[in-house]
Amino acid sequence: MGVNRDRPDRWKEDIAASVDMYNEWFMNFAPKAFRETRIHTTIDVEQALLLTKNLEGITVRVLQEHPEILPSLRMSTCPPLAVDRLIGLAGITPGLVKSMEGKNQIPPRMKREPLVEGLNKIAKIIQRMTDPDIFVWIERDKPATRTEVHRAATIVADRLCGSVANPIIRNAQEKRQLASIKDWLSNHGYEMITTSDGIKFDSMQPGTFSFRTTIPVNLADKEHSVNIPVDAVVMPKTAVSDDLPVFIEAKSAGDFANTNKRRKEEAVKVTQLRATYGESVKFNLFLCGYFDSGYLGYEAAEGIDWVWEHRIDDLEQLGF
């Protein structure tokens, strides 16, 4: 018998309770997480302004030596520029901008001539479109004051954080969910292990658990494999030799639409696990937030069970 997947009679009540729990967390803690990120981001923006002499010295050399400042520069324009918009306006290869954005580096194999040309085009676009309402010193003879620089950095940081608000909140919620699982397991006599212990998931001792563990799975061609991350891996105390641990994915969502877009992710993951390790694989979700009956029905049809965070003691029914 399952934990919740075969209990549709209480889905409606659980959905309401889960939404209430998420909303309470969001009101109490999400602003703090966002503010903390904004503080760190403001420091990064101020560093970018320092390197570019308050945007009056955006040079090829600066961009080449400090590619990590590009996001701050994109958010310094009027209007702020998305990655693809900057690529289009500058007429440069996508690989250059995406390497600077995603890896904080210049493409290592890019030849010098096209590199210099591309960076020069980026600099000209940023300088031409710099927002004069934020960087008020750009169109005057008097240099920027410390207060003006800090104010401008805060505005740019707000823009940067606003563009990635959902990931900021999702990361904070995931940390909280894993902390809840850790506390519950520890209180029930389980010991946490880490990847630094050198213990593979299939050789974990009964009564142990780990977080963000990579599991090798076979691809469809059965000739190649990839590593997939699993949020929590728990070996029950009652496990015997050759038993696989229980896999748990922590999931949170702040709206119903987003969950229905992401519901196939879990189905793909459990299919890969079962194709590699057999149908006995135990894959479960740890849910908090906006998960409607459509989402739950989809996961149940895939043979995926779940535990609601607002009823965390249901973890016992997973064999813990």
Domain boundary among 131, 164, 197: 164
Residuewise pLDDT in 10s, the chain (320 residues)? 689 999 999 999 999 999 999 999 988 888 888 888 889 999 999 999 999 999 999 999 999 999 999 999 999 999 999 999 999 999 999 999 999 998 999 999 999 999 999 999 999 999 999 999 899 999 888 999 999 999 999 999 989 887 777 788 888 899 999 999 999 999 999 999 987 666 788 889 999 999 998 898 987 766 778 889 999 999 999 998 888 999 999 999 888 877 777 788 888 899 999 989 998 899 999 999 999 999 999 999 999 999 999 999 999 999 99
- CA distance readout (Å), 85 to 56, 60, 127: 22, 20, 15
Give the chain's domain count. 2
**In this structure, is residue 296 part of a structural domain?**
yes
The reply to whether 1 falls in a domain is no
Q: Are residues 175 and 300 in the same domain?
A: yes
Do 293 and 196 share a domain, yes or no? yes
What was the pLDDT predicted at 1?
A: 63
Q: Are 100 and 14 within one domain?
A: no
Same domain assignment for residues 172 and 304: yes
User: What confidence score (pLDDT) does residue 197 get?
Assistant: 67
Residues 149 and 189 in one domain: no
Q: Please indicate, yes or no, if residue 230 is contained in any of the structural domains.
A: yes
DSSP letters for 136-155: TTTTSSSPPPHHHHHHHHHH
pLDDT given for residue 169 in this prediction: 84
Residue 132 lies in a domain: yes
**184 within some domain:** yes
CATH code for position 203: 3.40.1350.10
* 87 and 206 together in one domain: no
pTM for the whole structure: 0.71
Same domain membership, residue 91 and residue 179? no
pLDDT for res 199: 74
DSSP string, 284-303: EEEEEE---HHHHHHHHHTT
DSSP-assigned beta bridge partners for residue 242: none
Residues 314 and 170 in one domain: yes
Same domain, 61 and 186: no
175 shares a domain with 140: no
- Facing residues of 227 across strands? 216
- The CA-based angle 84-85-90, given to 5 degrees, is 100
Given this model, what pLDDT does residue 34 score?
Answer: 83
Q: Are residues 229 and 83 in the same domain?
A: no
Q: Which of 135, 164, 193 is the last residue of a domain?
A: 164
Any residues with CB less than 8 A from the CB of 283 and at least 6 apart, and which?
247, 248, 249, 266, 269, 270, 273, 274, 304
pLDDT given for residue 58 in this prediction: 96
pLDDT of residue 200: 82
Same domain, 197 and 305: yes
Asked if residue 55 belongs to a domain, the reply is: yes
Residue 3 resides in a domain: no
Quick one: pLDDT at residue 202?
80
What pLDDT score does 196 carry?
64
Domain range for 267: 8-30+166-318
Which of 129, 146, 164 is at the close of a domain?
A: 164
Domain presence at residue 2: no
